Chain A
């Protein structure tokens, strides 16, 4: 077919145009037939095909063969099963997308379940712990508990006390810095498993300014680091180490006792 205005692909499709237009099942074929329909060549092809199909239907079928069909369809329409539906790429893609979205929501929900006042700051400090090099700290070789006085006298930080359970850990260095919310943070690096301690102001109620207390130790996770956080006198203390909860748990169990 040399119908002008048809692309090569449409010409190829028009050559295969079904004799009965009701059989057109795809859009590209429908478009090709629609565009070719105006040409006399396509008209000739269609009447040629219709005449041949009529002739084919006139081919006599022997009775012993014809009885096999007995008016039933040669091909039973395929059943639309759930398995077939599930294997449809579109359904599959939508399903995967929904599962991913649901997974993100579940993760966020589970994450929120473990949230506590100050958990946002704690996570940010875990990121800082992961990127801190010992050279940025002032070298201090002392017991961690002894640094409370240093923080008070040198930096005016009240209640920045290392809990008694961690007070005997030997320190490598410490520093005081401000985070992006201008909160003053004390960071201590200790010898034991190269843990880091952080002391930072506890979260407060925006309206009343009251400290949002919480009881016991809470875990936070960030970038392969785990932190145990507790709050005392309006100051949060976090012990952080690279690893999992089970690595930190023995220290916190000792702390609880």
Chain B
């Protein structure tokens, strides 16, 4: 979400500290994903004051069969930066989807999206990431 481990850690600890305080006062919300929702809002708050990228039309490419091998050549940090640079709510959708901890309804709920919007944003994100992969990591010639 933040593309920066120091910021992420700060948000993580603030979220847990706040949760502990609320628990001590018996004020924990009665909904299943409140902690994740809270963490997401803190991430959005934390990046509100950051420099924002100029909105521009990202290129798109259909996913290819070699995308897997292209991704294997990436550093985790590159993916984190790419996702953190995506506009909201696509950033939340991609981050939660690739965490592989939630199903699509839970992600849509957390990102405050309709399932159809989530579907569109995920498909768009894949095509944009594929275009970025193609531009960053040229395909290896097949023998």
**B23 CB–A CB distance under 8 Å:** no
What are 27 A-B pairs at a CB distance below 8 A? A1-B123, A11-B119, A12-B120, A15-B119, A15-B122, A16-B97, A16-B107, A16-B115, A19-B100, A20-B100, A29-B103, A40-B65, A41-B62, A43-B65, A44-B67, A45-B63, A47-B67, A48-B63, A48-B126, A49-B98, A50-B68, A51-B68, A52-B129, A53-B100, A55-B71, A65-B12, A75-B101
Partner among B5, B16, B98, B120 whose Cβ is within 8 Å of the Cβ of A52: B98
Question: How big is the A interface, by class?
Answer: 35 or more
**B43 CB–A CB distance under 8 Å:** no
**A60 CB–B CB distance under 8 Å:** yes
**Which one, B49-57, B72-80, B135-143, is touching chain A?**
B72-80
Q: Are A59 and B119 in contact (CB under 8 A)?
A: no
> What DSSP secondary structure best describes chain B's contact surface?
helix
Contacts of A41 in B (CB 8 A): 62-63
Partner among B63, B77, B79, B129 whose Cβ is within 8 Å of the Cβ of A44: B63
Contacts of A74 in B (CB 8 A): 101
How far, in angstroms, from A142 to B122 measured CA to CA in the complex?
92
Q: Are B103 and A44 in contact (CB under 8 A)?
A: no
Min Cβ gap A40→B in Å is 7
Q: Are B68 and A47 in contact (CB under 8 A)?
A: yes
Contacts of B97 in A (CB 8 A): 16, 49
Contacts of B123 in A (CB 8 A): 1, 15
Chain B 1-31 near chain A by CB (<8 Å), digits 1 or 0: 0000100010011001000000000000000
Q: Are A12 and B116 in contact (CB under 8 A)?
A: yes
Contacts of B65 in A (CB 8 A): 40, 43-44, 47
**B90 CB–A CB distance under 8 Å:** no
Partner among B16, B71, B104, B115 whose Cβ is within 8 Å of the Cβ of A51: B71
Contacts of A27 in B (CB 8 A): none
**A25 CB–B CB distance under 8 Å:** yes
Closest to B101 in A: A74
Contacts of A45 in B (CB 8 A): 63, 126
Q: Are A55 and B74 in contact (CB under 8 A)?
A: yes
Q: Are A44 and B104 in contact (CB under 8 A)?
A: no
Contacts of B120 in A (CB 8 A): 12, 15
**B130 CB–A CB distance under 8 Å:** yes
Beyond the given A12-B115, A48-B71, A64-B9, could you list 9 further A-B residue pairs with CB under 8 A, ordered by the A residue number? A15-B123, A16-B115, A29-B103, A45-B63, A51-B71, A53-B100, A58-B76, A60-B76, A68-B16
How far, in angstroms, from A44 to B116 measured CA to CA in the complex?
21
How far, in angstroms, from A147 to B77 measured CA to CA in the complex?
107
How far, in angstroms, from A64 to B5 measured CA to CA in the complex?
12
Q: Are B63 and A18 in contact (CB under 8 A)?
A: no
How far, in angstroms, from A26 to B16 measured CA to CA in the complex?
32
How far, in angstroms, from A56 to B101 measured CA to CA in the complex?
12
Q: Are A56 and B67 in contact (CB under 8 A)?
A: no
How far, in angstroms, from A97 to B99 measured CA to CA in the complex?
43
Contacts of B98 in A (CB 8 A): 19, 49, 52-53, 56
How far, in angstroms, from A16 to B119 measured CA to CA in the complex?
6
Closest to B72 in A: A51
Min Cβ gap A179→B in Å is 63
Chain B 105-129 near chain A by CB (<8 Å), digits 1 or 0: 1010000000110111011001001
Contacts of A64 in B (CB 8 A): 9
How far, in angstroms, from A78 to B32 measured CA to CA in the complex?
8
Contacts of B67 in A (CB 8 A): 44, 47-48, 51
How far, in angstroms, from A54 to B99 measured CA to CA in the complex?
9
**A4 CB–B CB distance under 8 Å:** no
